[in-house]
Amino acid sequence: MEQLPPQTAPETAPAVRTGSAPVGRLAPAERRRTARHLLLDGFGLAAQERLAASRVVVVGAGGLGSPVLQYLAAAGVGTLGIIDDDVVEASNLQRQVLHSVADVGRAKTASAADVLRGLAPQVEVIAHGERLTRDNAAAILGGYHLVVDGSDTYQTRYAVSDAAASLGLPVVWGTVLGWDGQVSVFWSAAPGGRAITYPDVYGPQPPEGESCSTVGVLSPACGVVGSTMAVEAVKVLTGTGDPALGRLLVYDARTSAWDAIELAPAPSGSAAEPAEPAEPTALAAPTASAEPTAPPAPAPSGSPGVLLLDVGLRPGAVPGAVFVRLEDLAAGDLPPELLDHPVDGPVLVVCERGLRSRGAEQLLRAEGWRDVTSRAILG
């Protein structure tokens, strides 16, 4: 594929730097800080000045947003926006390396902003401590030159894609789940037949599917994928290298191999078919019916039989079941009823869609219970 020429990089705002540096020029301290870029063949001062003039917004300050934000701040991007409405939890620290133990309970945007300002004080950091939706996406994204989407729900991804397409903004997108990751650059205004958007590849918005909270994720894989997203963002902003426009980069941490899949825009007026291999999070859950399918009732107390565990989102939703949070099972905080149950006795784990229950099944098998099955109660 031909190299994207520098003039097709997104137009940046006038390069006005803080301090006494002339417009469009880097201050001496910033030139010293970014000296390794200035020495880089094919990059140099002009590309660095484009970075300094760029405004980038990152959706999500989690497993992917952490390396993206750190590397873009270190690389010299002038303005970084952070969109996240969540707070830091202990379970985030396995992979969300922007945050520390001391940040548990803090807003992720506040924690991330502190780290970025310490890493690169010249960068302007703007915290958007709210959830991005279809209603506010255009208003938030409209103030930036490029969007980096590290979100983990279809609702957010499609809201980002639609707003970015309406604004003509490029989107560097990535996902990681389990051992697998994917990265691409979507831009409705891209030249050369590469004007491809997220829905062109993955079709209409599906129901929410698997997530890191249900099937897990290898923490360094987040770093690999997030760092690749940062590389793509730098290339698009500066017009250097060959961005992944029209390509889907697929990563397998089991083998440390990358594959590249060529993409094509969907025919006008037709629905897109998902690319192969499917997106890691595209394992769609079954559509919920109006009434739950009742699981089998537990055996009478004191008799050998099935222990029914409910790891769903609503305590008490399954009559007769022992409710336990999936997060507590992962932490080894097992309910007394389970501890009293024989390791070879049958255990049935249920939840609304069968996603959390599959994760619980794996956890219980690792704890030594041998006869564990999982099931969805909405079918």
pLDDT on residue 352: 75
Residue with the larger pLDDT of the pair 193 and 237? 237
pLDDT on residue 266: 61
pLDDT tens across 312-321, in order? Answer: 878 888 888 9
Q: How confident is the model at residue 124 (pLDDT cuts 50, 70, 90)?
A: very high
From 94-103, 114-123, 294-303, 333-342, the region with the lowest mean pLDDT: 294-303
Q: How confident is the model at residue 158 (pLDDT cuts 50, 70, 90)?
A: very high
pLDDT tens across 243-299, in order? Answer: 999 999 999 999 999 999 998 766 655 444 444 434 443 322 323 333 444 444 444
pLDDT tens across 175-207, in order? Answer: 998 888 999 999 998 887 788 999 998 888 877
pLDDT on residue 112: 96
pLDDT on residue 326: 81
* Statement: residue 103 has pLDDT above 50: yes
Name the percent of the chain lying above pLDDT 70: 80
Q: How confident is the model at residue 214 (pLDDT cuts 50, 70, 90)?
A: low
Which domains does the chain possess?
A: 6-282 (3.40.50.720), 307-376 (3.40.250.10)
Active site residues: 212
pLDDT on residue 7: 36
Distances (CA, A) of 269 to 16, 247, 266: 43, 22, 8
pLDDT on residue 74: 96
From 5-14, 76-85, 126-135, 308-317, the region with the lowest mean pLDDT: 5-14
Distances (CA, A) of 38 to 8, 33, 305: 21, 10, 70
pLDDT on residue 282: 31
Q: How confident is the model at residue 212 (pLDDT cuts 50, 70, 90)?
A: low
* Statement: residue 21 has pLDDT above 60: no
pLDDT on residue 206: 78
SS (H, E, C) the chain: CCCCCHHHCCCCCCCCCCCCCCCCCCCHHHHHHCHHHHCCCCCHHHHHHHHHCCEEEEECCCCCHHHHHHHHHHHCCCEEEEECCCECCHHHHHCCCCCCHHHCCCEHHHHHHHHHHHHCCCCEEEEECCCCCCCCHHHHHCCCCEEEECCCCHHHHHHHHHHHHHHCCCEEEEEEEECEEEEEEECCCCCCCCCCCHHHHHCCCCCCECCHHHHCECHHHHHHHHHHHHHHHHHHHHCCCCCCECEEEEEECCCCEEEEEECCCCCCCCCCCCCCCCCHHHCECCCCCCCCCCCCCCCCCCCCCCEEEECCCCCCCCCCCEECCHHHHHCCCCCHHHHCCCCCCCEEEEECCCHHHHHHHHHHHHHCCCCEEEEECCC
